[in-house]
Amino acid sequence: MKTETRTLRVLASAQVLTGLGVAGTVAAGSLLVASITDSETLAGLAQTSSVLGAAALALPLARLTQRGGRRRCKGLQDVGINAKRIKRRTSCDLKSFWC
């Protein structure tokens, strides 16, 4: 029972830290858009797009988890996250290139 309690604490802590990381990434993306475009409206659109994109993928990923298991779903999720990171990094590089 002690091992199970420790495992649950570790998983809960990891979930909290992941949530903080995701929230920070969304905020940083909005700040990046505001910096590049000088438009608060577009910065808000970037944040809204991130939230809507996550919501749109929630149900398909849940179905995939039911059919194929957690590992398959997690792998697909990681591919999407890395693609988003590459896109943001490229945006940062292009901004510094043009400025």
Q: What residue ranges do the domains of the chain occupy?
A: 2-98
At residue 15, the pLDDT reads: 80
At residue 99, the pLDDT reads: 43
Q: How far apart are CA 28 and CA 20, in angstroms?
A: 12
The answer to whether the predicted template modeling score (pTM) of the entire model surpasses 0.85 is no
Contact 29, 47 (CB under 8 A): yes
Q: Tell me the per-residue pLDDT of 8-36, one tens digit each, with 9 for 90 and over.
A: 888 888 888 887 877 787 788 888 888 88
pLDDT band at 92 (very low <50, low <70, confident <90, very high): low
Contact 43, 31 (CB under 8 A): yes
Q: How far apart are CA 75 and CA 46, in angstroms?
A: 25
Helix (H, G, I), strand (E, B) or coil at 69: coil
At residue 88, the pLDDT reads: 67
Q: How far apart are CA 48 and CA 97, in angstroms?
A: 27
Contact 61, 77 (CB under 8 A): yes
At residue 64, the pLDDT reads: 78
